Amino acid sequence: MNDLIFNLNLKRRYIIPIIIFLVVVLLFWSLNHLITEESPPIIKTQVKYTSTEPINPLPKTLDLDENKVSLGDKLFHDPILSINNTISCASCHALNNGGTDGIPKSVGINGQILKVNSPTVFNTSFNFRQFWDGRADNLRDQIDGPIFAGDEMGNNNWLEVIDRLNQSSEYSSLFQETYPDGITEDNIKDSLSIFETSLYTPNAPFDLYLRGNENALSEEEKQGYSLFKSYGCVTCHQGILLGGNMFQTFGIIKDYFQDRGNVTKADLGRFNVTGNERDRYSFKVPTLRNIILTSPYFHDGSAKTLDEAIKIMAKYQLGIELSQKDTDLILKFLRTLTGDYQGEAL
């Protein structure tokens, strides 16, 4: 009898990963079609890549207007975009800190604490939607969010933003050099979105591995990637970003929010956008690229370490308790996802 139970458990151990892998293949195929048909990005950054893996490497280069990138860079780091000249885009998305601010929830104008954790700005142009709840279709639409949020930059309308920029002779000259019609809402959005598109991080060790360099990863890192797939992490974290191309409920197997307590409106996620009950507690799956640099984790910034985040995901999304050995191996794999920015390692 004991031998029979052992054999059944052994079969289950190998059958479940096979089922998960088949589901991943089907889901990845359907998501590629969903993204292509329903949500084409304003700026075309997607690239075709033939691979048997559920993850694709980032492109090595992007063809962008350098003048617009430069102007967008200046705007991104300038608090002039906030109503009281105290908060810039970089305040919450520091490029020397993985594109985040390293705190659970960011701080806006007048010291106001924001409602969710600020996600990384690196590689954001590859997301199929913007914000945790996906309320913006693309980077250009996303810009309205922080500009007009009362607890972020606090502006009332574009006219007052444009007026402040027009009072600067430097910005007046830069916009005239870059855009024939000078400072306009559309041109501000265009330069910012093109700069943010330039914030991509290619050539991570895992990208090199995907392109055929078997020596780019150690044996332990390869084991971690194998576990990442077999346990089912890759069901949601796939594609070019290892995420960023679908919504998913936070707490599929167990109720994360009941266990955490103190549920807020921000915890409702996609439901706040659609009002559809099936979207309650659903969020855009975050990218795992450069993940070791972007703590704390999740929309609520509740996980301080990547080790903790991995175990929470295993518990609430997969219904398993990971051993420390397997957690460490997956962590080793995730470390291979850190890429380069402007030719230098992040």
Rounded-to-integer distance, Cα 296 and Cα 3, Å: 45
CA distance 257 to 259: 5
Catalytic residue among 38, 53, 152, 221: 152
* Adjacent-strand bridge partners of 249: 282
Q: Is 220 a catalytic residue?
A: no
| HEC per residue, the chain | CHHHHHHHHHHHHHHHHHHHHHHHHHHHHHHHHHHHHHCCCCCCCCCCCCCCCCECCCCCCCCCCHHHHHHHHHHHCCHHHCCCCCCCHHHHCEHHHCCECCCCCCECHHHCECCCCCCCCCCHHHCCCECCCCCECCHHHHCHHHHHCCCCCCCCCHHHHHHHHHCCHHHHHHHHHHCCCCCCHHHHHHHHHHHHHCCCCCCCHHHHHHCCCHHHCCHHHHHHHHHHHHCCHHHCCCECCCCCCCEEECCCCCCHHHHHCCCCHHHHECHHHHCCHHHCCEEECCCCCCHHHCCCECCCCCECCHHHHHHHHHHHHHCCCCCHHHHHHHHHHHHCCCCEECCEEC
Instruction: Read off the amino acid at residue 222.
Output: K
Q: How many CA atoms lie within 13 A of 206 on its CB side?
A: 31
What span, in angstroms and rounded, lies between the C-alpha atoms of 149 and 130?
15
CB 100 within 8 A of CB 93: yes
Residues with a known catalytic role: 152
